[in-house]
């Protein structure tokens, strides 16, 4: 049985993951508006990943006898000054999410909820990948500088990314 404290924290995390999906979908719309369809596709894929993350929490709560409860999702930003600024913001957001996951691990340990702690380890590892992937694009955009050619090459590269459901997804 999941404790009320963990259930509330996980429900809050569902909201945070869905906000992340909204944020990345908003970034996708921004990239579409400035004719960078590869960047837009990368962000749509990121949005799908965030929905998948929310659903992992949703199922964990329900599987442990709790109840997932949805709440209003904050409105994300809609404009950025450049592709670099959008990805810097995405990277900062991933760092924030990492902090949230770490606090959930701390809570699971404090509550001696070993099932939730084990569940959260997937997210600990996932956040390393999320930060790395986003920072990788930030660094490439910094290298590209003002080069339109480099930006268009990166747009093509990012457009190849697709969402693949992880093999261990369970539900």
CA–CA dist 91, 110 (Å, integer):
29
pLDDT at 170: 53
pLDDT at 53: 97
CA–CA dist 161, 171 (Å, integer):
23
Q: Are 134 and 90 in contact (CB under 8 A)?
A: yes
Total Cβ atoms within 10 A of residue 5: 13
pLDDT at 168: 64
- The pTM of the whole model exceeds 0.85: yes
Q: What is the CATH number of domain 4-158?
A: 1.20.1260.10
Query: Which residue blocks in the chain are alpha helix, DSSP H?
Result: 4-33, 37-63, 83-110, 114-144, 148-158
Q: What is the DSSP letter of 169?
A: -
Domain locations in the chain as residue ranges:
4-158
Q: Are 134 and 94 in contact (CB under 8 A)?
A: yes
pLDDT in tens, the chain (171 residues): 999 999 999 999 999 999 999 999 999 999 999 999 999 999 999 999 999 999 999 999 999 999 999 999 999 999 999 999 999 999 999 999 999 999 999 999 999 999 999 999 999 999 999 999 999 999 999 999 999 999 999 999 999 988 887 776 555
């Amino acid at each position: 049985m999941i404790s009320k404290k963990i259930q509330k924290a996980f429900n809050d995390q569902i909201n945070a993951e869905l906000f992340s999906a909204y944020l990345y979908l908003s970034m996708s719309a921004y990239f579409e508006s400035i004719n960078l369809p590869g960047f837009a596709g990368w962000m749509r894929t990121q949005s799908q990943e965030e929905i998948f993350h929310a659903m992992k929490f949703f199922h964990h709560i329900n599987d442990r006898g709790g109840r997932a409860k949805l709440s209003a999702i904050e409105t994300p930003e809609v404009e950025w000054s450049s592709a670099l600024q959008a990805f810097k913001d995405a990277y900062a957001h991933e760092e924030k999410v990492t902090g949230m996951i770490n606090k959930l691990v701390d809570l699971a340990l404090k509550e001696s909820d070993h099932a939730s702690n084990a569940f959260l380890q997937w997210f600990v590892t996932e956040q390393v990948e999320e930060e790395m992937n986003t920072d990788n694009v930030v660094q490439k955009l910094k290298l590209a500088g003002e080069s339109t050619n480099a930006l268009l090459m990166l747009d093509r590269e990012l457009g190849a990314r697709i969402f693949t459901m992880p093999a261990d997804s369970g539900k």
